[in-house]
Structure 1
C-alpha cells in the first residue's frame, strides 16, 4: 500500500485529490496539511511513502516544505502538484530534491501514475513540462565548470551501471532485478551516485547519464 501525505491550502482541492487517489486500491492518503510546516510535522509522524505538495501555500510554501520533509522523514519521496508549469518553479522543485512535478489540470490517471512512479523509486514529470525541464537543465549545465564526464569519473563500475539504468528510466525495484541485487542495496548505490555526481533526484541523474553516453547494456 502506498501511503500519501497531501498538502494543499484549499480544502476542496484536497478532497478532489484524495478522491482520485483513493480510487486506486493500492494508494491511501494517511494525512492532510494546509501548509508546508504542518506537512513536515505530519511527515515526521506518519512517515508516508510520498508527500504530494502544492507549491503556493500561505505561511510555509511547498519549496520550503521539501527541505523540511526531507529532514523529518528522509525516506519520504516528494512530488509537487501545482496549477503552474513555469520553468523556474519546475527547476527549483527539482533542484530542491522533488522527484515529481504534476499539474492539477492533468487527468486523474496521470496523477495516480505519477504517485506510483515516485513511490517505486522513479521520477515523474507531467508530459507538458518534461521537454522544457530537460532543455533547461542541459542549458544550465553547459555553463558549469565541470563537464558531465568529469562528474562521473569517480563512480565505481557498479555505480556506473546504476547510473546507466537510472538514465534508462528504471525504478529501484527494476534496477534490483536487472543487477540481481536486493532493493536496499540499490537504494544505497543510488544515494552514493547522487552524492558523487552532485545531483538530488533521478531526473538530474538521468540527464547526466544521457550526456555522458552511459548505456544500460541489457
Structure 2
C-alpha cells in the first residue's frame, strides 16, 4: 500500500439493490468491509458524505449519451474514488468515466478475484490502467463526443418535414407507407430522403437511419408522431422482415 493513503469505506452502488447486496456479501466474504446501498440514498451519500479515502464500486449500463453524462456528473461531484463496472465493451464510454475522474472501469462480468484485485489497486492509490491505455480511452471519448455533437447539429439542420420523414424511416416505415400516410407524391418523399442524406453527409438511407439510432434519439424526438391522413390514427411502421 502507498504510505499515507488512508483506508476508507467501500460502497457498492447499483440501480438494482440485489446486485449491490450480492457483491457486498461476496466482498465481505473476502474480508473486505463493503456496504451495499440502494440507488438514491447511495448517490446522496456518495456526493455529500464520502471522502477521497472512500471507494464506490458503481454498476452502470452507460447506455446512451445522457446516461453516460449523468454518471460523469456523479463521479465528478463525489470526492470518493470510483471503480465502475459496466456491460459496455471497452471504448468511448469507458473513456468518459476515466475523463471524469474514475479510477478504473471494468466489465461487469469480471470475476470476483479480478474485482478484488482492481479494488486493492484503487485502495492503494493506484489503478489497473496504464497511462497509455487511460489516455487512449479518454481521447476516444472526446473524439466520439465531437462526432456526436456534429451529428446532432446536422439533425437540427433538417427541415420539419425532413425530420418527420427521417423519424418514420427510423421507426421502420417504408417509402410507400410514408407516401400513403403523408398524402404526398413518391418523388417528394424520395427528394426529402436525398436531402436528408446530403445534410447528414451519409451515403445511404440506411446510414441516415443509423444516425438516429447512434444518437439514441426516440423516433418521436426526430419528428412528432405522424398522423394517417385518412383517419387521424398514428401511422404504423411496416412489419419488419424476420432476421436471417
TM-score (norm 2): 0.45
Point out the structure with max Rg over C-alpha. Answer: 2
TM-score (norm 1): 0.49
